[in-house]
Amino acid sequence: MKIQWSLVCGVLLTALTLDAASATSSQGLSAEQPRVSSADLVELRALGGTLGVSPSGKSVAFQLQQADFAARTYRSSWHVVAIAGGPPIRVGEGGDVILDRSDEGALMGGRVAPTVQWSPDERWIAYLRKDAGTVQLWRSSADGVTQQQLTHGSADVMEFEWSANGESLYFETGREHEAMLAAEQEEGDRGYLLDDRFMPDASRKPLWPICKREQAPAQSGSRQCSTTLRVLELASGQERGATSDEQEGYSLRKRPAAVAGLDSTRQVQKVIRNLAGSRSAWLENENPREFPGLHPPLTLYVDGKRCDAPACHGRLNDVWWRDDQIVFRRREGHANRFSVFYVWAPDKRGAPRQVYRTEDQLDACKLAQGRLVCLYESPTLPNRLVSIDLERGKLRTVLDPNPDFARFDLGKVELLEWHDAFGNPTFGHLVLPPDYQPGRRYPLVIVQYRSRGFLNGGVGDEYPIYPLAAAGMAVLSFDCPTDANFNMRNDPKNLGAWIEASLRDGHERRMDLSALDIVIDQLDQRGIIDPRRVGVTGLSHGADNVEFMLFNSTRFAAAAVSGAWSRPQYFYLNPNTWYRNEMIKYALGAQNAEQVSERGRVASIVYNTDKVTTPLLIQAPDAELLATLPIHIALLDAGKPVETYVFPDEYHIKWQPQHKRAIAERSIDWFRFWLLNSEDASPDKAEQYSRWRKLRGPA
């Protein structure tokens, strides 16, 4: 591992160079290492986003997921492993993929993080499983001998909890599927009323808002929904409704009551109690008037005692009890990249003790026998299960689901830190081709818009970073800057005003473009890239950025987006009043509907195609085709190079593995064509390149 410091354009640029081969394996690797492909990345085994630690802290339960191209889905299975070490035990199948939804009920496409809980006697784990369209409660014995479906209702199980004695399970259910289908059929026979229930980019039918423990805000009175709490007696297998006492106890376990004696106006967050329930700790926003917004500075309190040490104040995220000590995590450093873990003994004198600091990604952390058990990723390592010794500050791998990943030659990765033109800190990771030759200038492809954890393919994992580098291009995995001061000081509860202020005059997009302008100039002056051959990609916020960049900059020689959102056209394609008022109107900076078209002429690529010089590849989910069409057609009519693909049964985040692979491979072809003037000789791609040559026009 090497550390290099460069002073470029008066900006101090930190470049931490990671040797990917040595980072992934302590053993020597052959000079003939293979390059990682798009299919290799899609096929990586992943640990589901949550962990279940047994009551004794000796074992952890997790879900393992992997793409199944033949079945066009992901397969999953449940496992239990001893934290001290040893082989994992497979305890059951995970069922069908569960995709997440917005509160309005629109499918978003991301895979829901699976929830798992241990029984008090550690003989069982309980979890949710989807089969044939319905989510039910299941359990598996920790020894892997038994897997059993526990509920068989028509309604989906939403959440669950073991009883204190382990003899029963509490579970929440939503709407009955049969009742929903019957209501849809009855109304459909008469024709659906076009009202706030509709979001045409998500469904051609009225949406069903998500059921919640408390009453969900009504989009339509008939569609209000609170979950129903039921109890399953395990010995008899009988289900019944929960009593009022059981409902109150369940709510307290799910969300601890406020700390007794505290002024109700105090901004208390993340209340936790010790195992005996006799002590409380919490994080508090001590200055809500100045910091009413996102991620305000917080302060740690224990039993009403304020921790006055500097480490106890700032960007605090997580807190746990460890006997009579408190373990907490604090975000620190440039753009809050570092996770720093501290231990504090509130009953003794002394400041919190730092036990572990890392710039790598640690998620789903749980306390287990004096250790933290977490999911871990680094720029060159896919996710794995690790434990952190809180006495010695040592990290140890408990389970690596992809031990063969070390065989790949990933090249070199540099961590770059800089500030945008407005002074906001940002960073990215520059990935160089495995056969990189100093002194040679390479095309650059920018992948947005977060660069934390394993460098797979940006948000949505559609633009494969290491395969793009292996194809002969430098790749910048870019983490967009955040105006933290603005976010902390403006209240997002007034969502419309907050969005309008944050996007006024394209502020957010100008931040991101200015950051890219600066880093492109730096890489140019270092002699690494050819500034005439720069490509850019994006999904969601990243796609919004690309749209803005294409008519506000001439730096980009090629672009690719995962769907595109036309504004102001989308304002007229969505009848949902909340969405129109709070998102579209304010995102355009308009104060009323009459101003939408006027402001849209400044903010939308549709009205600025004359300024576009960059060829654009759009690979959209069919759920977002309505939002994408105006941009495609406007560019097409203007004679601009654009090509669009539409993927069936996909949503904002595309989830089907065969689609992810196709998108990734076409993206590589696209950037090789425009930035390297190179074509794949495969006969299957002859028609593709024939079209692209026509888009490029005469040489």
Q: Both tokens of residue 159?
A: 């959440």
Q: Is 652 a catalytic residue?
A: yes
DSSP symbols for 506-549: GHHHHHHHHHHHHHHHHHHHTT-EEEEEEEEEESTHHHHHHHHH
The CA–CA distances, whole Å, from 303 to 277, 306, 341, 435, 646 equal 12, 9, 21, 58, 56
Which long-range CB contacts under 8 A does 71-79 form with residues at least 24 apart? 72/656, 72/657, 72/658, 73/97, 73/656, 73/657, 74/111, 74/655, 74/657, 76/48, 76/114, 78/116, 78/125, 78/127, 78/140
The CA–CA distances, whole Å, from 513 to 54, 169, 454, 546, 671 equal 47, 52, 24, 9, 20
The answer to whether the bond into 342 is cis (omega within 30° of 0) is no
pLDDT, position 25: 38
Q: Where are the alpha helices (DSSP H) in 144-259?
A: 177-190, 244-254
**Cβ atoms < 10 Å from Cβ of 648:** 9
Question: By the 8 A CB rule, do 58 and 83 touch?
Answer: yes
The packing angle between helices 657-676 and 686-696, to 10°, is 50
Q: Where are the domains of the chain?
A: 405-566+604-696
pLDDT, position 503: 67
The CA–CA distances, whole Å, from 543 to 291, 388, 407, 561 equal 30, 37, 33, 5
* CATH 3.40.50.300 for domain 405-566+604-696: no
The CA–CA distances, whole Å, from 132 to 96, 97, 152, 177, 208 equal 8, 11, 12, 12, 19
Please give the DSSP secondary-structure letter assigned to residue 138: E
Nearest CA-CA partner of 640 in 684, 696, 683: 696
pLDDT block averages, 10 residues each, the chain of length 699: 28 33 40 89 94 96 96 96 94 96 90 95 97 96 97 95 95 94 94 89 87 60 80 95 91 74 82 85 92 92 93 95 94 95 92 96 93 96 96 95 95 96 96 96 97 95 97 97 86 71 78 97 98 97 94 96 80 76 61 71 88 97 92 96 96 96 98 97 95 91
* Marked catalytic residue, from 168, 652, 659, 667: 652
Token look-up 């009175």 returns 221
pTM assigned to the model: 0.91
pLDDT, position 16: 33
Which string of b and e fits 403-418 if b means at least 16 CB within 10 Å?
A: eebbebbbbbbbbbbb
Instruction: Give CA angle at 330 (324, 334), nearest 5°.
Output: 160
Q: Is 178 a catalytic residue?
A: no
Q: Is 79 a catalytic residue?
A: no
Token look-up 């460890």 returns 322
**Cα–Cα distance for residue pair 661/194, rounded to 1 Å:** 37
**Cα–Cα distance for residue pair 342/319, rounded to 1 Å:** 10
pLDDT, position 588: 60
Which phi and psi (to 5°) does residue 97 adopt? -65, 135
Q: Report CA Rg, the chain.
A: 26
**Cα–Cα distance for residue pair 172/156, rounded to 1 Å:** 8
* Marked catalytic residue, from 500, 508, 624, 650: 624
**Cα–Cα distance for residue pair 9/14, rounded to 1 Å:** 13
The string of pLDDT tens digits covering residues 24-39 is: 333 444 457 899 999 9
Edge-to-edge strand order for the sheet containing 558-561? 2-8, 11-19, 412-419, 425-432, 474-479, 442-447, 529-538, 558-561, 616-621, 642-647
Question: By the 8 A CB rule, do 417 and 336 touch?
Answer: no
* Marked catalytic residue, from 22, 77, 220, 540: 540
The dihedral region occupied by 503, where left means phi > 0, alpha psi between -120 and 50, and beta the remainder, is alpha
Residue type at 89? Answer: I
**Cα–Cα distance for residue pair 641/557, rounded to 1 Å:** 11
**Cα–Cα distance for residue pair 186/156, rounded to 1 Å:** 22
pLDDT, position 214: 67
Question: By the 8 A CB rule, do 144 and 187 touch?
Answer: no
Which phi and psi (to 5°) does residue 626 adopt? -60, -40
**Cα–Cα distance for residue pair 656/97, rounded to 1 Å:** 10
